[in-house]
RNA sequence: GGGCGGGUGGCGUAAUUGGUAGCCGCGUCAGCCUUAGGAGCUGAUACCGCAAGGUGUGAGAGUUCGAGUCUCUCCCCGCCCACCA
């Protein structure tokens, strides 16, 4: 039976509104439940088909909680500041305020058409002055606490557009909009010291219920690493020795003896030049070129290492060795001290650099516990008995008279002695785990080591010949070895390993476990323990129009002064043009009568800050405003905050796990420290949903023309069908392709529900009752675990069952409608009413199930013989083994397979299988 | 390169967490009903085979009475981060 979904949906949406069933109460004896979705950015394109996935999921949760007796807050609002709207304004000349209002109206209509149970009376908009008044107020709190500060920061500058670009607007070093080249420029920016909270943001992850992958991403983003700072004294040409030094940060102080050179970042070199270092022309050219490049550009260069020798020398404090200091852009200015000690034998990047510039490599750690195999070539002077005498076993002897031997742990020294005494000059090698140690006996009798891994082995001759400038002949693998022997020049290890092990080539530390050396070596050289974070302070300035004005005034005598609280909000003035100015400043800078003001402290002429805030600002605290959205004396009343916070369940996209989630946690912690909010962590639970892809499995995009329009879907198939499909299409956390046919299937299901309502009987089959209780159970559990797809599936199984079993009692049908209501609220209310239900389903309690009824009376279990399925039999779920076994033996197919066999053992799992072992 | 997910019919997926692999939906096929069907109803649908039967969860090994699920080796795909010392 088809139904007119458009009328039905409109009718119930109006009823809900009239009844106000979704309004959260600020004072209630019910337990509270605060359920939050990420508020959307109201773009000109309208609602994306992906938005409702998250909203429907938490709508189901919110609706279920209400029926379970909770006072639920499920709010909605608009994160409306941002670049797309501003760019649209620049293009069309229309005020962004106006464009935003239009977009919000569209979004609102679209969301309402889907029947979400949002509390629309608490709608907020970040661009509303009564909202951003408080964003500004909070910024001033940061300012007053000394956490907001001004710093010179590099920005990406597009040479043709003459504007500053956000990092994500720079693609391959080029401007995203015009394709022109970009460079780095320096500009004073407002910063917020989020790094002061790094430790707490990390530690407090322990106290919240986030998906583990979300926690991991937050941890990685914060990027805490413990290490040591070590001083190296410098010898600068033309300056007295011992006057200068450089500090490096390292997490591997245990490898200090292997530090064969230092590398400083271009930024560090620039600093030195500024304080009077006379760098060579080559160094100056390199440094200025590196500094111009954007960071993204620097990373995109396929890791080809570049760099220049500075001519400066440093003293390795471990062994007093004199080592060169290089400048290279693979060392970042903004992390650690901007200078590193390079240990090429145990760091991939340092190794690549050393190889590119022929710098020495010294292995200082060997693998501790791997077995040792050795291949002995040209062992003319050695007999098998010599090996046996020292406990070395011969695994293989080749036709050429070479040996492959196995050396027990602890016998390496004896083996080495035997080699040096008895063997003719030549080489042998040891396999230690996946690396090979080559040992060379020179003509003068001394032994050298060479370390390689398996892959390198295959190319050893080629690489080594190239390195030693020897001719390479692939047909003669001995070429390199012979050449090297003849010239006595080789020593270069060709492998880098970063695994733990035991120290070597490290003076008094030889033989020490490297973990132990991590504290022992710094102790000797005076290293200082230090914790570093990848997290940087938050760049809070944007040279843009469409953002919250930063409420500060610059006065010649008083410096930066906060706009007094009673003058907030600093309202974004209407300007004529929205383009950034030629100097890269916000269009606000061109408004002389807005910019020029007087100092709130001394009254002398002063200028307003023309930078605006990033769009992360308004979204960092919106969950607090929902609690008391119309308050004009505070961002929210303390007692309301105390009642509602923290958010009980927050769902959003993985793309916001690092920035938005971290910023808002930080923002809330700061407000907590200032005594403005009652909890330190804003979100008790955080989950995330998967992307909805186009039918072809690729991302939906306007340019590909594969975007699904939610309006059309709702119009044609109904909001309930769309809601069900968004939940049914696949596991909630996974990306899933959209399928129109799948949506049609949901529509069919809804019509089957209507049909089931036509089959009301006085006495239903016990199977229907059982299915109903199973369905209540499964849906209840699945919603909590976010397994919405299987919850919907179970409801389908139920409806199929009703049809097959010939009908349903009206009381059962009513119970089913209550279960269906959170998923398909319009149709379930309509059916409920048409069968005489007076109340809104939303006001009825969530149904309970009886586990005894849900339990099946008869289960069919598998009969296996030696683990192979031979039959299935129907038995009671708790039937004793003897009974089941007897029953199983009566099966003809079982008898057939048992013929001539005796049962040795039986494994019986009640309700599942019985396995006869013969 | 690092981190996190995955690989099951023609497709999206499910599997009580070590116990009958393929539930539910889509698609397809057959039949019914229809002037018609991109509507509805009924049934079938992992693969090979007429059948008995056999095979089957990316590949290969292992543990187990029993493996999609656990262990090891390898291959492929997706997302995020990416020279962080």
Instruction: Name the residue with the least CA to C1' distance from nucleotide B11.
Output: A739
pLDDT at A636: 97
Q: What is the pLDDT of residues A870-901, one digit of tens each?
A: 888 888 878 888 888 888 888 888 888 877 77
How far is A439 from A495, CA to CA, in rounded Å?
A: 15
Q: What is the pLDDT of residues A1-48, one digit of tens each?
A: 467 899 999 999 999 999 999 999 998 999 999 999 999 999 888 999
pTM of the model: 0.85
pLDDT at A439: 55
pLDDT at A406: 64
- Whether the pLDDT of residue A456 is over 50: the answer is no
- Whether the pLDDT of residue A402 is over 70: the answer is no
How far is A440 from A671, CA to CA, in rounded Å?
A: 66
Region A542-556 average pLDDT: 92
- Whether the pLDDT of residue A485 is over 50: the answer is no
pLDDT category, A479, cuts 50, 70, 90?
Answer: very low
Q: Is the CB of A388 under 7 A from strand B?
A: no
pLDDT at A20: 94
The structure tokens listed for A903 are 């049962």
Region A577-604 average pLDDT: 85
Q: What is the pLDDT of residues A246-284, one digit of tens each?
A: 999 999 999 999 999 999 999 899 999 988 888 899 999
Q: Is the CB of A805 under 7 A from strand B?
A: no
- Whether the pLDDT of residue A49 is over 60: the answer is yes
Backbone Cα Rg of chain A: 36
Q: Got the DSSP string for A306-363?
A: --EEEEEEEE-TTT--EEEEEE-TTS-TTSTTSEEEE-GGG-HHHHHHHHHHT-----
Q: What is the pLDDT of residues A337-354, one digit of tens each?
A: 999 999 988 888 888 888
What's the mean pLDDT when you consider all of chain A?
A: 84
Q: What is the pLDDT of residues A65-97, one digit of tens each?
A: 999 999 999 999 999 998 888 888 888 888 999
| Strand, coil or helix: A591 | coil
Q: Is the CB of A893 under 7 A from strand B?
A: yes
pLDDT category, A455, cuts 50, 70, 90?
Answer: very low
Q: Is the CB of A759 under 7 A from strand B?
A: no
pLDDT category, A420, cuts 50, 70, 90?
Answer: low
Q: Is the CB of A737 under 7 A from strand B?
A: yes
Q: How many CA atoms lie within 13 A of A872 on its CB side?
A: 7
Please tell me which residue, A578 or A582, carries the higher pLDDT value. A578
pLDDT at A434: 44
Residues 269-288/A with CB < 7 A to strand B? none
pLDDT category, A189, cuts 50, 70, 90?
Answer: confident
pLDDT above 70 coverage of chain A, percent: 82
Measure, in angstroms, how far nucleotide B27 C1' is from residue A912 CA.
32
How far is A450 from A64, CA to CA, in rounded Å?
A: 68
- Whether the pLDDT of residue A476 is over 60: the answer is no
DSSP state of A613: -
- Phi-psi region for residue A223, left (φ > 0), alpha (ψ -120 to 50) or beta? left
DSSP state of A690: P
**Which whole-number Å values give the CA distances from A530 to A144, A249, A250, A333, in the listed order?**
29, 8, 9, 17
Q: Is the CB of A731 under 7 A from strand B?
A: yes
pLDDT at A657: 85
Region A160-169 average pLDDT: 63
pLDDT at A492: 37
Measure, in angstroms, how far nucleotide B61 C1' is from residue A461 CA.
35
What is this model's ipTM? 0.94
Q: Pairing between strand A365-366 and A339-342?
A: unpaired
Measure, in angstroms, how far nucleotide B61 C1' is from residue A30 CA.
58
pLDDT at A489: 31
Q: Is the CB of A536 under 7 A from strand B?
A: no
8 A C-beta contact, residue A257 and residue A318: yes
Q: Is the CB of A736 under 7 A from strand B?
A: yes
Task: Name residue, tokens 């583990």.
Answer: A212
Measure, in angstroms, how far nucleotide B55 C1' is from residue A764 CA.
43
Measure, in angstroms, how far nucleotide B66 C1' is from residue A869 CA.
10
Q: What is the pLDDT of residues A835-877, one digit of tens each?
A: 999 999 999 999 999 988 888 778 888 888 888 888 888 888 7
Q: Is the CB of A150 under 7 A from strand B?
A: no
- Whether the pLDDT of residue A299 is over 60: the answer is no
Measure, in angstroms, how far nucleotide B12 C1' is from residue A736 CA.
8
Q: Shortest CA–C1' contact from A751: which nucleotide?
A: B40
Q: Got the DSSP string for A95-155?
A: -HHHHHHHHHHHHHHHHHHTT----GGG-EETTSHHHHHHHHHHHHHHHHTT-EEEEEEEE
Measure, in angstroms, how far nucleotide B43 C1' is from residue A346 CA.
68
pLDDT at A862: 87
Instruction: Name the residue with the least CA to C1' distance from nucleotide B23.
Output: A793
pLDDT at A624: 97
Measure, in angstroms, how far nucleotide B58 C1' is from residue A239 CA.
65
pLDDT at A410: 61
Q: Got the DSSP string for A691-752?
A: PEEPTTSSPP-TTTT----HHHHHHHH-HHHHHHHHHHSS-TTS-EE--HHHHHHHHHHHHH
Q: Shortest CA–C1' contact from A896: which nucleotide?
A: B52
pLDDT at A292: 75
pLDDT at A232: 94
pLDDT at A454: 40
Measure, in angstroms, how far nucleotide B38 C1' is from residue A719 CA.
22
Measure, in angstroms, how far nucleotide B12 C1' is from residue A730 CA.
7
8 A C-beta contact, residue A83 and residue A99: no
Q: What is the pLDDT of residues A775-786, one digit of tens each?
A: 999 999 999 999
- Whether the pLDDT of residue A488 is over 50: the answer is no
Q: Shortest CA–C1' contact from A306: which nucleotide?
A: B83
- Whether the pLDDT of residue A555 is over 80: the answer is yes
Q: Is the CB of A195 under 7 A from strand B?
A: no
Residues 623-682/A with CB < 7 A to strand B? 654-655, 658
pLDDT at A177: 60
Which chain B nucleotides are covered by protein, judged by CB under 7 A?
3-5, 12-16, 19-21, 23-27, 40-42, 53-54, 65-67, 78-85
Measure, in angstroms, how far nucleotide B42 C1' is from residue A744 CA.
20
8 A C-beta contact, residue A667 and residue A624: no
Kindly report which listed range (A269-273, A536-540, A718-722) carries the lowest average pLDDT score. A536-540
pLDDT at A183: 72
Alpha helices in A492-648 (DSSP H): 514-525, 592-595, 616-619, 622-625, 638-644
Measure, in angstroms, how far nucleotide B35 C1' is from residue A745 CA.
27
Residues 341-370/A with CB < 7 A to strand B? 347, 349
Please tell me which residue, A487 or A575, carries the higher pLDDT value. A575
pLDDT category, A700, cuts 50, 70, 90?
Answer: confident
pLDDT category, A366, cuts 50, 70, 90?
Answer: confident
Q: Across A367-520, where does the E strand assignment appear?
A: 372-376, 393-397, 403-407, 426-432, 435-441, 447-453, 502-503
Q: Is the CB of A213 under 7 A from strand B?
A: yes
- Whether the pLDDT of residue A229 is over 60: the answer is yes
How far is A141 from A620, CA to CA, in rounded Å?
A: 14
Q: Across A3-90, where does the E strand assignment appear?
A: 32-37, 71-73, 77-78
- Whether the pLDDT of residue A632 is over 50: the answer is yes
């Amino acid at each position: 039976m088809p139904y007119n979904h458009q009328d039905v949906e409109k009718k119930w949406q109006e009823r809900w509104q009239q009844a106000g069933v979704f309004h959260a109460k600020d004072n209630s004896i019910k337990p509270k439940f605060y359920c939050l979705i990420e508020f959307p950015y109201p773009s000109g394109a309208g609602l994306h088909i992906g938005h409702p996935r998250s909203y429907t999921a938490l709508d189901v949760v919110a609706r279920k909680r209400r029926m379970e007796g909770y006072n639920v807050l499920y709010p909605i609002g608009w994160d409306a500041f941002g670049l797309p709207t501003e760019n649209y304004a620049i293009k069309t000349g229309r005020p962004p305020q106006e464009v935003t209002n239009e977009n919000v109206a569209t979004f609102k209509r679209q969301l309402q058409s889907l029947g979400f149970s949002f509390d629309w009376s608490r709608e907020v908009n970040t661009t509303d002055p009564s909202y951003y008044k408080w964003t500004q107020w909070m910024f001033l709190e940061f300012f007053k606490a000394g956490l907001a500060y001004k710093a010179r920061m590099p920005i990406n500058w597009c040479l043709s557009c003459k504007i500053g670009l956000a990092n994500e607007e720079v693609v391959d070093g080029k401007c995203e909009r015009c394709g022109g080249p970009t460079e780095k420029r320096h500009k004073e920016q407002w910063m917020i010291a989020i790094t002061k909270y790094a430790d707490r943001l990390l530690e407090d992850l322990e106290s919240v219920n986030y998906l583990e992958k979300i926690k991991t991403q937050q941890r990685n983003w914060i990027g805490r690493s413990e290490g040591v700072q070590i001083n190296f004294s410098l010898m600068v040409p033309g300056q007295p020795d011992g006057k200068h030094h450089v500090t490096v940060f390292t997490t591997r102080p245990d490898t200090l003896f292997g530090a064969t050179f230092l590398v400083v970042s271009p930024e560090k070199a620039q600093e030195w030049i500024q304080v009077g270092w006379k760098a060579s022309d080559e160094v100056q050219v390199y440094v200025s070129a590196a500094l111009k490049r954007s960071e993204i550009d620097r990373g995109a260069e396929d890791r080809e290492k570049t760099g220049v020798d500075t001519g400066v020398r440093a003293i390795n404090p471990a062994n007093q060795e004199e080592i060169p200091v290089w400048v290279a852009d693979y060392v970042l200015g903004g992390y650690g001290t901007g200078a590193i000690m390079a240990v090429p034998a145990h760091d991939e990047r340092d190794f690549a650099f050393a190889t590119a510039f022929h710098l020495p490599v010294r292995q200082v750690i060997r693998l501790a516990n791997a077995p040792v195999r050795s291949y002995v070539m040209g062992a003319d002077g050695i007999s098998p008995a010599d090996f046996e005498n020292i406990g070395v076993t011969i695994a293989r002897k080749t036709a050429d008279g070479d040996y492959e031997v196995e050396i027990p742990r602890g016998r390496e020294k004896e083996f080495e002695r035997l080699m040096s005494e008895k063997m003719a000059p030549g080489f042998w090698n040891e396999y230690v785990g996946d690396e090979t140690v080559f040992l060379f006996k020179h003509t003068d009798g001394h032994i050298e080591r060479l370390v390689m891994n398996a892959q390198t082995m295959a190319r050893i001759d080629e690489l080594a010949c190239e390195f030693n400038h020897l001719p390479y002949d692939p047909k003669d693998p001995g070429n390199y070895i012979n050449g090297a022997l003849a010239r006595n020049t080789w020593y270069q290890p060709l492998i880098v390993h970063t695994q733990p092990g035991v120290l070597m080539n490290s003076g008094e530390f030889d033989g020490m476990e490297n973990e132990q050396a991590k504290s022992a070596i710094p102790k000797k050289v005076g290293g200082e323990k230090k914790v570093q974070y990848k997290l940087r302070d938050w760049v809070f300035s944007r040279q843009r129009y469409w953002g919250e004005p930063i409420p500060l005034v610059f006065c010649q005598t008083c410096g930066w002064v906060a706009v007094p609280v009673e003058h907030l909000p600093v309202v974004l003035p209407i300007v004529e043009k929205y383009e950034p100015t030629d100097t890269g400043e916000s269009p606000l800078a061109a408004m002389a009568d807005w910019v020029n003001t007087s100092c709130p402290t001394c009254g002398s002429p002063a200028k307003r800050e023309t930078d605006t805030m990033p769009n992360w600002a308004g979204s960092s605290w919106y969950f607090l405003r929902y609690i008391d959205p119309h308050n004009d004396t505070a961002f929210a009343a303390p007692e309301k905050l105390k009642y509602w916070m923290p958010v009980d369940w927050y769902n959003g996209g993985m793309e916001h796990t690092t920035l938005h989630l971290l910023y808002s946690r930080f923002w809330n912690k700061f407000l907590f420290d200032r005594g403005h909010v009652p909890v330190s962590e804003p979100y008790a639970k955080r989950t995330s949903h998967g992307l909805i892809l186009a039918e072809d499995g690729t991302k939906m995009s306007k340019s590909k023309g594969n975007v699904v329009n939610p309006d059309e879907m709702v119009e044609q198939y109904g909001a309930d069908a769309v809601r069900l499909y968004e939940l049914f299409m696949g596991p909630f956390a996974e990306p899933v392709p959209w399928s129109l046919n799948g949506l049609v299937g949901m529509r069919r299901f809804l019509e089957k529900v209507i049909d089931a309502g036509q089959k009301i009987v006085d006495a239903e089959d016990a199977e229907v009752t059982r299915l109903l209780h199973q369905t209540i159970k499964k849906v209840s559990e699945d919603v909590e675990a976010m397994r919405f797809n299987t919850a919907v599936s179970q409801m389908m199984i139920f409806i199929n069952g009703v049809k097959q079993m010939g009908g349903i009692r009206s009381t059962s049908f009513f119970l089913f409608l209550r279960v269906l209501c959170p998923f398909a609220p319009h149709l379930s209310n309509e059916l409920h009413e048409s069968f005489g239900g007076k109340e809104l389903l939303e006001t009825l309690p969530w149904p309970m199930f009886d586990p005894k009824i849900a339990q099946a009376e008869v289960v069919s279990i598998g009969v296996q013989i030696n683990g192979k399925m031979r039959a299935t039999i129907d038995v009671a779920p708790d039937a004793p083994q003897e009974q089941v076994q007897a029953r199983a033996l009566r099966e003809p197919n079982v008898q057939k397979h048992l013929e001539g066999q005796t049962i040795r053992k039986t494994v019986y799992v009640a309700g599942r299988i019985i396995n006869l072992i013969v």
